[in-house]
Amino acid sequence: MSFEVRLEPAICQKLSADTDISNMVLRRISPVALDQDLGLPAIMYEITGSNPSRNLTSRNNLIQADVDIYCIAETYSDATKLGEYVRREMSASRGDVSVTDDGTPIQVKILGITHTDDRIEYSPPVDGGRTGVYTRRFSFLISFRPED
C-alpha cells in the first residue's frame, strides 16, 4: 500500500476525532474535492508533495509530506473558528493513528506536524447568487512512518 493511502485516512481520522471539529462539520471531511451537494462548513485536504527519507544504505521508512487543509464555510466567522480547531488539533501533534486497509488495522506513526502557512480567502458566488464561500487554508509538514 502506498503511503498516501495510509496518510489520507490518518488525516481524516485525526480531524474526525476532535469533538469541536466533528460538531461543526459532522462527516463532511473529504480528500482533494468536495461534493457540491455537501453542506458547509466542511473540510477538504490534499497531499501536495512528499519526500521519503533515506539513510546511508536504503530507505528508512520515514516520510515527510506536505499537506494542505481547507476549512470551507459560508461565513468568515465559521471559517475562522473551524480553522482554529484544525490548527489546534494538527499543530505540533504526534502519536499513532489507527486506520484500516481492507479491514486490516494499520498504525500510522505521526512523528511530528509543523504548521508552515495559513491564509483566508473569499470566493464570490459563481451562480449569480449573493453568497460566496470563505476558505481558510493551512499548510502542514507531516513527518510519519506507515507501520506494517
Mean pLDDT calculated for residue range 7-35: 92
Q: What's phi and psi for 50, nearest 5 deg? A: -150, 160
Q: Which DSSP category does 67 fall into?
A: E
- Identify the pLDDT of residue 121: 94
Please tell me which of 2-6, 8-12, 127-131 the model is most confident about, judged by mean pLDDT: 8-12
- The overall pTM is greater than 0.75: yes
pLDDT digits over 23-82, tens only?
Answer: 999 989 999 888 777 889 999 999 998 877 666 565 567 889 999 999 999 999 999 999
Q: Which residue has the cell 488525516?
A: 11
Average pLDDT, rounded, for the chain: 87
- Taking residue 27's Cβ as centre, other Cβ atoms within 10 Å add up to 10
Say whether 58 sits in a helix, a strand or coil. Answer: coil
